[in-house]
Amino acid sequence: MDRDYKSVIEAVIFASDEPINEKEIINVIREIDGDDVKMRLGELQSLVDELNEEYKQTNRAFRIVKIAGGYAFATNREFAKYVGFLSTEKSKRRLSQAALETLALVAYKQPITKPEIETIRGVNSDYILNTLLEKKLIKITGRAETIGRPLLYGTTDEFLKYFGLNSLADLPKPREYEEIMKEPDFLEQKRKLLMNQLEEEIERETSRNSEETDFEENSENNFDETESGNEGETETNDEIE
């Protein structure tokens, strides 16, 4: 390479909305500087390693990591509880406890069928599976060779992005998962998640009660107006007689 593309690579990764892989980065560079730019995948990885070393030496709060086969910026683990607090405040893509349980089953036991999920969880999973499909966290991977040939479910690249994983091999092992669940930060985040779910339930219940009250008041008003109209008609008829 005749030019130091380290800053270019840094800028492209930073500006990308999604994790961007090596070939895509090289294509961006060649689109701008020409096809004669010579850069191999190994060279690009070396430049990323150099950037991460600079971030480390200057005590930056972030690094370039591999997620779903591509590069993306991510904050260091030591700041997880601070960033996690912001995440719990955002409800746009938050998953319920039931959705997380179902997603965990799909992730660890894929490919897996709906009957298998329901046997383990003990409840109907139609709504949860549809929700996860809509969020593109799971996908249909085929049909099982069993009676009825039920659909098989597996995780997606969106699942890897959602949880900041490069591949399924990065999923916590069962023993690691048990240790994570005992950590104070995990318990605190779980408490906040449950509190947020409780608040949402209260808000929905309050909204539902308010709508019912408004409906009843409107019904009473309409009834009173009808009664009043009937009385007026009776008086008019009396006058005519």
CA 72 to each of CA 23, 63, 238: distance values in angstroms, whole numbers, following the listed order: 14, 8, 84
Average pLDDT over residues 169-175: 76
Average pLDDT over residues 93-97: 73
Average pLDDT over residues 43-47: 91
Q: How many separate domains does the chain show?
A: 3
Average pLDDT over residues 55-75: 94
Same domain, 41 and 62: yes
State which residues form the domain around 49: 6-76
Q: Is residue 87 part of a domain?
A: no
Q: Is the pLDDT of residue 47 over 60?
A: yes
Taking all residues of the chain, what is their mean pLDDT, rounded to a whole number? 79
What is the pLDDT confidence band of residue 236, given thresholds at 50, 70 and 90?
very low
What is the pLDDT confidence band of residue 25, given thresholds at 50, 70 and 90?
very high
Q: Is the pLDDT of residue 46 over 80?
A: yes
Show which of 121, 150, 171 is a domain's final residue.
171
Q: Is residue 90 part of a domain?
A: no
What is the pLDDT confidence band of residue 98, given thresholds at 50, 70 and 90?
confident
Show which of 114, 143, 171 is a domain's final residue.
171
Same domain, 222 and 182: yes
Please report the DSSP string for the chain in residue order.
--S--HHHHHHHHHH-SS-B-HHHHHHHHHHHH-TT----HHHHHHHHHHHHHHHHHTT-SEEEEEETTEEEEEE-GGGHHHHHHHHHH--SSPPPHHHHHHHHHHHHH-SEEHHHHHHHH-S--HHHHHHHHHTTSEEEEEE-SSTT--EEEEE-HHHHHHHT-SSGGGSPPHHHHHHHHHSHHHHHHHHHHHHHHHHHHHHHHHHHHHHHHHHHHHHHHHHHHHHHHHHHHHHHHHHH-
Q: Is residue 130 part of a domain?
A: yes
Tokens of 154: 């597996």
Q: Is residue 93 part of a domain?
A: no
- Check which CATH number belongs to the domain holding 127 and give it: 1.10.10.10
Same domain, 57 and 117: no
Q: Is residue 213 part of a domain?
A: yes
What is the pLDDT confidence band of residue 14, given thresholds at 50, 70 and 90?
very high
Mean pLDDT check: name the lowest of 13-22, 59-68, 185-194, 232-241: 232-241
Same domain, 160 and 194: no
